[in-house]
Structure 1
Amino acid sequence: MTDMSGGERDDDRLAPVIPLFGASTAPRSRHGVGVDADADPTAGGDIVPRRTGEAGLWRSTWDERDAEPPADPGARHPAHGAHGRTKGTSEQPATAPRLRALRPAHAADAEDVAEMPDPDELRSAAEESLVRKLRGRAMSVSEARTALRAAGLDGSQVDDVIDDFERRKYLDDRTLAGHLVTSGVERKGQGRVALSRALAQRGIPREIIDEALSELPDDDAERALEYARTKARSMARLDPDAALRRLIGQLSRRGYGGSVAMNAAKTALREAAGGSSRGVRFVESD
């Protein structure tokens, strides 16, 4: 290249080209081909030839590949797993899930069999529990069955115990029904309806209930009147209509309904008011 004075000018005296991407440019040869001063000509295909000519001055960073090996992704990178995340750090290693050894099937079955109670011991304990209950309160067969099932006996064992107790007269629904009827009539003043309901609640069969009630004399009216007399004295100060309604309600709750309760209430209130010779009488004291 010649200058204006006709002399030849050396290309090395040109102003240096400042690279745009921060890397120093290789010195240009006279043929315009950029040569990397650090490049090893024997490196093979690791170096990509740069552009030639003036375009080489504005080469992109894409023109060469980084010859350095890829950086380590780091100790906490997922590729290293749990061991890599804890290795070389002061953190405690992650707790691995505990493995539990599985028991052989025959071993598990043997333990289950060992935990099962002995049938004879279970029955003996259930019988003793039932005897203690019977000492405190008479029970029907239905109530005894419920108690035995709650103690863990199966159906056949329950039937065997019930048969044994009935044979020994520990359980007797007919005797129990007779006691309940007598107690209901004498102590509670109950009529047939209330007695039937009370026996059914104890699980006594229907035929035994009817048999027990059939032994009662057909005197519901008299029993209702006797009960009404015990309550009418405390209602003497009430309004007659209010006293009648209250007394009929009490008779109905004890199994006396309809005309039996109405007649008994009226008779008892009339006697309490002094309308009958059987009412309350006042006598002068000495």
Structure 2
Amino acid sequence: MARAVVLRRLSFGPRTRAQLHEAILAKDVPADVADAVLDRFVEVGLVDDADFAREWVRVRHRDKGLSRRALADEMRRKGVPTDDAEEALSALDGDDERAAAEALVARKLPASRGLDYPKRVNRLMGMLARKGYGPGLAGEVVRQALAGEGEDDQP
């Protein structure tokens, strides 16, 4: 039963060991059986939290523009061990984050045209905050983008 649960879950895409463990326990399988089955899946390479974390960071940063902080939160919720998450996040540097934030703002900037300056700033800053970017970087990126459109800081 535990093996079938794992195979079914993996057929939809990679999962962390913690996610699979939780799914097995939800089927009232004893914890020691769940651990044994998962140990075997890890041994043969079908479950690998480090690979999961690297791919998660690569895809979510590229497709969703998520910051390191947001990615770390997601991986923690998925049960990725801290060491694996930190290693995966080390592939991103400050330039990567800045470039992602700039791309997000560039994509949303046209939708804010016609609004007054404070509303534009609030909307763009809010969008970046939801993606996990801190106020310092978000403010710089938003001000730079608006200045590029000819809008200067206004009180």
- Measured in 1, the distance between the counterparts of 2:38 and 2:29 equals 12
- Measured in 1, the distance between the counterparts of 2:100 and 2:2 equals 42
* One of 79, 94, 97 as aligned partner of 1:203: 79
**Whose radius of gyration is greater, 1 or 2?**
1
Could you tell me which amino acid in structure 2 is paired with residue 169 of structure 1? G
Could you tell me which amino acid in structure 1 is paired with residue 42 of structure 2? E
- Measured in 2, the distance between the counterparts of 1:268 and 1:198 equals 28
> Which residue of 2 is the match for residue 176 of structure 1?
52
Measured after TM superposition, the shift of residue 211 of structure 1 is 0.9
TM-score in terms of structure 1 length: 0.50
Percent identity reads 28
- Measured in 1, the distance between the counterparts of 2:91 and 2:110 equals 31
Mapping 1:118-137, distance limit 5 Å: 125-137=1-13
Could you tell me which amino acid in structure 2 is paired with residue 225 of structure 1? E
Relative contact order: is structure 1 or structure 2 higher (C-alpha 8 Å, sep ≥ 6)? 2
**Residue 84 (structure 2) pairs with residue 239 (structure 1):** no
Note if contact 1:229-1:269 (Cα within 8 Å) is conserved in structure 2. no
- Measured in 2, the distance between the counterparts of 1:218 and 1:246 equals 23
> Which residue of 2 is the match for residue 156 of structure 1?
32
TM-score in terms of structure 2 length: 0.90
Measured after TM superposition, the shift of residue 148 of structure 1 is 1.3
Could you tell me which amino acid in structure 1 is paired with residue 4 of structure 2? E
**What secondary structure sits across from 1:187 in the alignment?**
helix
Can you give the 5+ residue segments of structure 2 that lack an aligned partner in the other structure?
Answer: none
Measured after TM superposition, the shift of residue 145 of structure 1 is 0.6
> Which residue of 1 is the match for residue 145 of structure 2?
268
**Residue 103 (structure 2) pairs with residue 217 (structure 1):** no
After TM superposition, which residue ranges in structure 1, 4 or more long, deviate above 4 angstroms?
none
Measured after TM superposition, the shift of residue 205 of structure 1 is 1.2
Could you tell me which amino acid in structure 2 is paired with residue 205 of structure 1? P
Note if contact 2:17-2:47 (Cα within 8 Å) is conserved in structure 1. yes
1:20-44, Cα deviation, whole Å (9 max, x unpaired): xxxxxxxxxxxxxxxxxxxxxxxxx
Note if contact 2:2-2:37 (Cα within 8 Å) is conserved in structure 1. no
Note if contact 1:244-1:265 (Cα within 8 Å) is conserved in structure 2. yes
Can you give the 5+ residue segments of structure 1 that lack an aligned partner in the other structure?
Answer: 1-124, 276-286
Structure 1 vs Structure 2 CA RMSD: 1.4
> Which residue of 2 is the match for residue 167 of structure 1?
43
Could you tell me which amino acid in structure 2 is paired with residue 215 of structure 1? A
Measured after TM superposition, the shift of residue 226 of structure 1 is 1.6
Could you tell me which amino acid in structure 2 is paired with residue 202 of structure 1? K
Higher helix share: 2
